Structure 1
């Protein structure tokens, strides 16, 4: 289901009917994403496993726990990026976490910034979040630059924060504080 478009992209809710396309995106970028993600076994990349994860994500979306998006170039069908808003917390916190990845062939063109900018606006208006948090490895200059260009501010540094690519790694903690939705 297409949620919105930007100047150069179409942004879609990641649903089970996109399992084949999402599998291709993951497989084509497997080695590119590996340094930034947990270790993935072969089962992670199977169509059945992906379909089950997308079904679970759809249930979490329906329960207002997360929003998992993918995007294509405008008018095309090949997935080139993924944007995930997860761990929705309502009440006095009004926050979520952001994660994102872009096909290696499309980096350096401003497409992630474009899709993220509109996605952040969408999630802010739809869910009323006050804070979006996004963390990255200290040497991930691309993510750092993208987040800073969107207004995220470095709030801290967490040692041994997540087990990435099989190793406990430090992370830079960032957040974007948004105005109240009227």
Structure 2
């Protein structure tokens, strides 16, 4: 298990016992998050499905291909989001993508920005990545602000990148290089 402490948050990689809380978080934010990501079938939002997802994440972490963290309140009493470094590629790329979601009740408090900065630091300092990328919908102003506050730079528009709830959606690609971070 990997733990990261910040001023207001406790981030740690998921373990099997988190499945129930993760399923509750997913169910609670199903329609809020569906604005910018696909809705899933009902089975996805169950404790069993989240348990399997956590097991897959543990396997990917062991093979150094993904790190999925729960975002908890400082006292670790409440799961309020999740954040991942995923699709990790080693040289010649040495890159990964970052993705995050915050419980609607905790948005607009700087939590996503704080979590992104901590996971970026982990990616550059511990995993020694060269580049961290993010996709974001042009409609997702809040997430764009998170990335820009975290010093990510917009590199372009990827047309009709993702099929989300019945239509193809454009996404910006943002990136942060290790040399820009330090």
What is the Cα deviation at residue 33 of structure 1? 0.6
Partners of 2:39 and 2:165 within 8 A in 1: yes
Partners of 2:30 and 2:39 within 8 A in 1: no
User: Deviating runs (4+, > 2 A) in structure 1?
Assistant: none
Aligned twin of 2:5: 5
Aligned twin of 1:131: 131
Aligned partner of residue 168 in structure 1, secondary structure: strand
5 Å-filtered alignment, 1:32-51, equals 32-51=32-51
Query: In the TM superposition, what whole-angstrom CA distance separates every residue of 1:143-177 from its partner, at most 9, and x where no partner exists?
Result: 10110010100001011101122321100111011
Report how many aligned residue pairs link the two structures.
181
Partners of 1:80 and 1:102 within 8 A in 2: yes
What is the Cα deviation at residue 76 of structure 1? 3.4
Q: Does 1:22 align with 2:22?
A: yes
Aligned twin of 2:172: 172
CA RMSD of aligned residues (A): 1.5
Partners of 1:131 and 1:175 within 8 A in 2: yes
What is the Cα deviation at residue 2 of structure 1? 5.5
Aligned twin of 1:57: 57
Q: Distance in 2 between matches of 1:71 and 1:22?
A: 10
Q: Which runs of 5+ in 1 are unaligned?
A: none
What is the Cα deviation at residue 128 of structure 1? 0.6
Aligned twin of 1:68: 68
Aligned twin of 1:149: 149
Q: Distance in 2 between matches of 1:116 and 1:33?
A: 18
Partners of 1:36 and 1:165 within 8 A in 2: no
Query: In the TM superposition, what whole-angstrom CA distance separates every residue of 1:52-98 from its partner, at most 9, and x where no partner exists?
Result: 11101110110001000111110032111111111000011100001
Partners of 2:22 and 2:47 within 8 A in 1: no
Aligned partner of residue 127 in structure 1, secondary structure: coil
Query: In the TM superposition, what whole-angstrom CA distance separates every residue of 1:95-120 from its partner, at most 9, and x where no partner exists?
Result: 00011111111111111111211111
Query: In the TM superposition, what whole-angstrom CA distance separates every residue of 1:1-50 from its partner, at most 9, and x where no partner exists?
Result: 46121111100102222101111111111111111112300011111111
Aligned twin of 1:92: 92
